[in-house]
Structure 1
Amino acid sequence: MGIIKPSYLLRLNNMKSITFTFSPFHPKSTSTRALLSQVMTDKCRNTNGRCEVKPVVKSDMSEPVIEVVWTDNQISKINPTSMTVKELINYIDRNNARF
C-alpha cells in the first residue's frame, strides 16, 4: 500500500461531511477502510469537530464510494477502487488547499 501520511497532517477543516460507503468484503475496499481508520483518529477529528463522518457499511459487495461535502457546498464523489490511501489523502489535501 505504500507509505501512509500521518493522520495528524490529514485535515478535515474545509469539510461539512465525509461519507464512506463500502462493503467490507469487497476486495477493492481496502483503501477506503484504511482512510476511514485515519479519519477516525482523534488528531484528525480535532481538525474539525463539526465535520460529520458517516461510515455506511453494506453487505451487497458494491464498490466503495467516498462522498465529501465541502464548506462551499460542493460535493466530491470519489471512486477509491483504483486509488491508494496516499492518493486519497493527497486528493483531500489538494481540495483543502483551494480554500
Structure 2
Amino acid sequence: MSNWLSREIKHILPTFDLHAIRTVLVTFDPWRHDSRATRDFLHIITDDSVAKYYPKMFVKPTIKSDLSEPIITVEFIDASKAIFKASKLTTLDIFTKLKPLCINKAPPP
C-alpha cells in the first residue's frame, strides 16, 4: 500500500463504527493483479487494534486459485448484505463505500 493511501485510511478508519457488521467474507485469488486492494482491506480489518474494538465481527478470508474476481461480502446485524466486486476498486474506495452502510445500519446506543 502506498504511503498516501495508508495515511488516508488511517485518517478515515477512526471515524468508522463497525459494530453494525456481523461477518466479513473476503474472497480473492492472490495471482490476479487486481486483488491488491482486497488483500490490503483484509490486512487492515484483521489488524489487532481493529479486532480489539470489534470482537463480535467475524472475518473469514477465502483464498482461491481459479483466477476469480476478488469479492468482499459484508453481512450486517440486521441480516442484510453488501457485496463489493473489488477488481476495479481501491482500498480507499472500499472503505468509502462501506462507511455510509455502517452508519445506516448502526445499532442504537
Same fold per superposition (TM over 0.5): yes
Larger CA Rg, structure 1 vs 2: 2
Aligned to 2:24: 18
Q: Of residues 78, 83, 86 in structure 1, which corresponds to 2:84?
A: 78
Deviations 1:33-82 (A, max 9, x none): 00000011112122320111000000111111000000111011110111
Aligned to 2:38: 32
Aligned to 1:89: 95
Kindly report structure 1 stretches of 4+ aligned residues shifted beyond 6 Å. Answer: none
Structure-2 separation of matches of 1:16 and 1:68? 8
TM-score (norm 2): 0.82
Structure-1 separation of matches of 2:53 and 2:97? 17
Task: Mark the runs of 5 or more structure 1 residues left unpaired by the alignment.
Answer: none
- After superposition, the CA RMSD in angstroms is 1.7
Structure-1 separation of matches of 2:87 and 2:70? 7
**% same residue:** 22
CA contact (8 A) 1:23 1:57 kept: yes
How many Å apart are 1:8 and its aligned residue?
4.9
TM-score (norm 1): 0.90
Aligned to 1:68: 74
